[in-house]
């Protein structure tokens, strides 16, 4: 089931919409593919950049970076954001941290809206407290925005 249109305007691309390590196919330490395009939709390329940065920079506390994202040590988030932006071909990192925070806020609204319409797995996520987790991540990102430049 598609939640969004995939008709891109001239200034838009087709965004993955759920780009994170769980949707990447790995061969060793090298990414070789992207899975799960259920949330694909048209949008500005900055949307997918911001969504990816949430996990690549990452916009998570050190304990979660070490445990869940398997970082070998607490990350230098500003450096990682700068490397990602340069590799993507961006000439500036200005506004990227704010774009990630906006994507996190949009994610909360999306889960709430889909759950309210009776869609799974969002109904199950809300019942299991996932919205609280998302709100805590958003609060962390806002409180630690300075770590990203």
Residue 61's contacts (CB-CB under 8 Å, 6 or more residues apart) are: 140, 144
Domain membership flag for residue 8: no
What's the token pair of residue 26? 């790995």
CATH of residue 27: 3.90.1200.10
Q: Is the pLDDT of residue 9 over 90?
A: no
Note the pLDDT of residue 7. 60
Q: Is the pLDDT of residue 13 over 90?
A: no
For 74, the domain range is 13-148
Domain membership flag for residue 112: yes
What number is the average pLDDT over the span 102-130? 95
What's the token pair of residue 16? 């993955």
Q: Cα separations (Å) of 71 from 66, 81, 116, 125, 147?
A: 5, 15, 35, 26, 17
Domain membership flag for residue 5: no
What number is the average pLDDT over the span 6-16? 73
Q: Cα separations (Å) of 99 from 30, 53, 92, 95, 139?
A: 26, 9, 13, 6, 14
Domains of the chain: total:
1
Is 48 in contact with 13 (CB distance < 8 Å)?
yes
Instruction: Return the H-helix or E-strand segment holding 1.
Output: none
- Mean pLDDT over all residues of the chain? 90
Note the pLDDT of residue 128. 97
Closest CA to 48 of 118, 119, 106, 115: 106
Residue 2 pLDDT level (bands cut at 50, 70, 90): very low
Domain membership flag for residue 123: yes
- Residue 129: how many CA atoms within 13 Å on its side-chain side? 2
Domain membership flag for residue 103: yes
Q: Is the pLDDT of residue 55 over 90?
A: no
């Amino acid at each position: 089931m598609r939640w969004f249109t995939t008709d891109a305007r001239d200034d838009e691309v087709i965004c993955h919409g759920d780009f994170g390590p769980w949707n990447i196919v790995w061969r060793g330490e090298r990414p070789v593919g992207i899975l799960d395009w259920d949330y694909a939709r048209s949008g500005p390329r900055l949307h997918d950049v911001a969504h990816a940065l949430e996990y690549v920079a990452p916009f998570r506390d050190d304990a979660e970076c070490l445990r869940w994202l398997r970082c070998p040590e607490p990350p230098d988030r500003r450096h990682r954001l700068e490397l990602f932006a340069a590799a993507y071909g961006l000439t500036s990192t200005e506004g990227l941290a704010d774009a990630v925070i906006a994507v996190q806020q949009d994610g909360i609204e999306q889960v709430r809206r889909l759950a309210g319409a009776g869609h799974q797995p969002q109904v199950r996520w809300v019942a299991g407290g996932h919205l609280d987790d998302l709100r805590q991540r958003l609060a962390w990102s806002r409180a630690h925005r300075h770590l990203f430049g």
